[in-house]
Amino acid sequence: MIMTKRDLLITEVALRDGSHAVNHQFTLDQVVNVSKALDEANVPYIEVTHGDGLGGSSLQFGLSHTNDLELIEAAAATVKNAKISVLLLPGVGTKEELKQAAKLGAKMVRVATHVTEADVAPQHIALAKELGLETVGFLMMSHMAPVDKLVEQAKLMESYGADVVYAVDSAGALLPHEVKERIRAMKENLSVEIGFHAHNNLSLAMANSLAAIEEGATRIDGSIRCLGAGAGNTQTEVLVAVLDRLGINSGIDLYKIMDVAENIIAPILPKPQEITKDSLTLGYAGVYSSFLLHSQRAAERFNIDSRDILIELGKHKVVGGQEDMILDVAAELAKK
């Protein structure tokens, strides 16, 4: 299929970010079926890994049903036009795993760090470039840094060789004017493409994605049927419809992406993706969206309110990789 030039590129993250929502239990058949359908809908990038990236399957983050590398290989063998993307968090995923992912067919890697820790990424970005992968700097929890700090870290990602740099609203905590400030500053100070990744915990994923686009972002993440951590991400099929109304070409077939959402994704959701009291608290407290299920399990174990755990985690400014803190916080709250 010959694709026309797109005004904006969407990366579908349901098979990675959505891994959190299904407790990392995606099966090989599910990944193959979803990848095939997304490819047929003309989705340009499909991200496939454990929710915490390559090597994320662990007791701390949650054990995968199927090894990431098997899922990546199966997805890559299934698609005809789409490129398979992987996520890598330095310190979780290794360079060897990145090499294996590239060998198995991955075409893009997003190297993800906390918003103030870009300096842990240069060797992984350099390796990605050596492997011929499209390489993205992914600055997580971007609400936790002032605009000038975000720009500083984005410029580091660019200097290491990233082709694209993302501001990532991992907690779904940013408001539209805050997104605009961040994307505008990145656009003014970087020469590479700018991307934005939203979460819908405050029901602002679409508004924030549009705010990012207005300020010049040309890469936007979506999760079909909102299949992502917390309340999910910008809903892909809705985003495609909105972009079409705005005259922005995403290249994605609207009817086909609607059908994928309705007929393939909806049946595999453990429960409908909606803004619950806990996911709302994630955005309100500025807590990493993947902490949702961990906090709910801790609340049940200690017989306390999960919202209290999330609020306390927000006060402690706990970030991804500190999942062990959830039980510590719950235990302390239970003593009060």
Exposure of 271 in the CB half-sphere (CA atoms within 13 A): 10
| Structure-block tokens of residue 85 | 């993307």
How far, in Å, CA of 203 to CA of 197, rounded?
Answer: 14
24 is catalytic: no
- Give the residue carrying structure tokens 């990546």: 72
Does 289 appear as a known binding residue? no
Of 127, 148, 122, nearest to 137 by C-alpha is 122
Of 252, 316, 291, 334, nearest to 7 by C-alpha is 252
Q: Residues 6 or more apart from 222 whose CB is under 8 A from it?
A: 10, 11, 12, 13, 233, 234, 235, 236, 239, 240
| Structure-block tokens of residue 306 | 């999960």
* Residue 80: its H or E element: none
Neighbour count for residue 28 (Cβ, 10 Å): 15
Does 197 appear as a known binding residue? yes
Does 307 appear as a known binding residue? no
Does 16 appear as a known binding residue? yes
Say which of 20, 50, 114, 143 is annotated catalytic: 20
Does 255 appear as a known binding residue? no
Q: Report CA 300 to chain centroid distance, whole Å.
A: 27
Annotated binding site for Mn(2+): 17, 197, 199
- Residues with catalytic roles: 20
- Binding-site residues for substrate: 16-17, 170, 197, 288
Residues making up the annotated binding site are 16-17, 170, 197, 199, 288
